[in-house]
Amino acid sequence: MANINNIQDEIIKEMSQLKKGMGKYLYLINLAKQLTPFKPELKTENNLIKGCQSRVWLASELKNGRMHYFADSDTAITKGVVALLLKILNNQSPQAICNADLYFIKKTDLESELSPIRANGLLSALEEIKNKARQYRRK
């Protein structure tokens, strides 16, 4: 199993080969298509991430000491942003997720290339992912 930093380094390498702007958007849209289908019964108010202009749902479970996240959004780019976070943080321990320094955001200039609303959504989604990990870390 790859650790968080190894996955980030691979993403930095992948994204460095993309053209600014549209190249990164196409990369995110492709990631969105790779997400595990989200069960309709999980689209509840409780799983809705606050602070995103788009509707983004995030559910999680702890299995064998590892976090497993499931997500969906009503927009492709936002869904891709969440898929990117899950690519890094899925199947990691709650402690590793809580302690993760997601340096790939700065190294890929992702935040600056997203609209301010989407950048805020990125941070909101990251915070919610970490909140869910914190809940399991306490158990």
Give the domain CATH number at 17.
Answer: 3.90.1010.10
CA distance 7 to 60: 20
What's the average model confidence in pLDDT over 70-86? Answer: 94
98 is catalytic: no
For 42-60, write each residue's pLDDT tens digit. 999 999 998 777 899 999 9
What's the average model confidence in pLDDT over 81-88? Answer: 96
- Annotated catalytic residue, options 52, 97, 100, 122: 52
- Structure-token pair, residue 25: 């958007």
Counting every residue written for the chain, the total comes to: 139
DSSP state of 17: T
Structural domains of the chain, count? 1
CA distance 7 to 5: 5
